[in-house]
Structure 1
Amino acid sequence: MGEFEARYGVAPAARQTLFLVFCIGNERYALQATDVVEVLPRLSLKPIARAPSWVAGVFAWRGVVVPVIDLCALTFGQDAQARTSTRLVLVHYRPQAQQAAQVLGLILEQATDTLRCDPADFKPYGLDNRQAPYLGPVREDAQGMLQWVRVNDLLDESVRAVLFPTPPLDLNDNEGER
């Protein structure tokens, strides 16, 4: 404790982090703001044939084709509602620390609020949810429970291979097949 805190009986400020708050149905969730690249309005997407139903499609963003998943459909099997507060949130997706981050789009309902709090306020909720490893710890506040969504745990290996093939597809390889 510093001299100012000791003299005036003020506790040192907790480490505060900014979160983007959104809903899935009536439940609140949060993404760490450092994971967010950009928040866009909901856009038209090109569907991906034979992809899981929660893969909403792809769109072109700044010269890059970005895959988009519907987090409502992934989590509870129902598409996000088309509301004015439904957003297309671009995030840095890095499933392994040594890999470069790639841009992934998330369709999120009511993604219009932020919250600044200490990440230590989020606590484990006591369930081993292997079917949804991206659902992290929870925080209780005056509005109820808020659950942290871990971006890097969103996709399993099979979906990651479809959306982010390694090595990336080379469009020049198809020229000889005409």
Structure 2
Amino acid sequence: MSEITAKRSAVKQALHALFLVFRIGNERYALKAIEVAEVLPRLPLKPIAHAPAWVAGVFAYRGVVVPVIDLSALTFGTPAQGRTSTRLVLVNYRPDATAETQLLGLILEQATDTLRCDPADFQPYGLDNRQTPYLGPVRKDELGLLQWVRVSDLLDDQVRALLFPSPPLDPVLLEDRP
């Protein structure tokens, strides 16, 4: 391989990104792998009282309590199936460039594959669905359509305040209550 061909190949690879592919029902979705902190098996969760049905609960991870949402329940109102390929995927959630990155858990079905492709291959699908701003553009391939899920758009302001109160609740203040 010539030096010029090698450089062109390196530039083309630099345009590609790695995605974690998963399913909701029969439909395929993808998260940008750079947003994924860790993929875990499905773990027991502590439920959160009076939270939306798609908030699956919380669990302790390396000394931090991490909230978990069920993406299937959030998107279509049906909880994820308990398959051996259902995973608890920790993502780096950051609602905007000025916010601090926090861990957020996602319950994802069949989260076992990855795909390397050019993010520019994903195209708008022509529907302005303001109720699901996290569902981004789609990419066509031999398996059908693949939709990009944008982690930063997963939570609206109300749910973000519930899962990530600002400032965080101080346990000392809770002890002072009668």
TM-score (norm 2): 0.93
Cα distance, 1:82–1:166 mapped onto 2, change above 3 Å: same
Deviation at 1:174, TM superposition (A): 1.6
Cα distance, 1:12 vs. partner? 5.7
* Equivalent in the alignment of 2:62: 62
User: What does 1:153-172 correspond to in 2, within 5 Å?
Assistant: 153-172=153-172
Tell me the amino acid that sits aligned with residue 13 of structure 1.
Answer: K
Q: Deviations over 1:46-93 (max 9, x none)?
A: 000000000000000000000000000000000000000000000000
Matching residue of 2:12: 13
SS of residue paired to 1:120:
helix
Structure 1 94/11 Cα, relative in aligned 2: closer, same or farther at 3 Å? closer
- Residue aligning to 2:44: 44
**1:110 aligned to 2:94?**
no
Letter in 1 for 2:163: L
For residues 31 and 116 of structure 2, the distance between their equivalents in structure 1, rounded to whole angstroms, comes to 11
Give the C-alpha shift of residue 4 in structure 1.
2.5
DSSP 3-state at the match of 1:168: coil
Identity value in percent: 72
Pairing 1:82–2:82 present: yes
1:95 maps to: 95
Gap regions ≥5 residues in structure 1: none
Report the secondary structure of 2:152's partner residue: helix
SS of equivalent residue, structure 1 residue 13? helix
Structure 2 unaligned regions, length at least 5: none
SS state of the match for residue 84, structure 1? coil
Q: Which amino acid aligns with 1:105?
A: G
Match of 1:53 in 2: 53
Partners in 1 of 2:130 and 2:76 — Cα distance?
A: 15
User: 1:132/1:10 Cα in 2 relative to 1: closer, same or farther (>3 Å)?
Assistant: closer
TM-score scaled by length of structure 1: 0.93
Quote the Cα distance in structure 1 between the aligned partners of 2:104 and 2:137.
22
Residue 175 of structure 1, CA deviation: 1.9
- CA drift at 1:3: 7.7
Deviations 1:111-156 (A, max 9, x none): 0000000000000111001000000000000000000000010000
Q: How many residues align?
A: 174
User: Aligned partner of 2:30: which letter?
Assistant: A
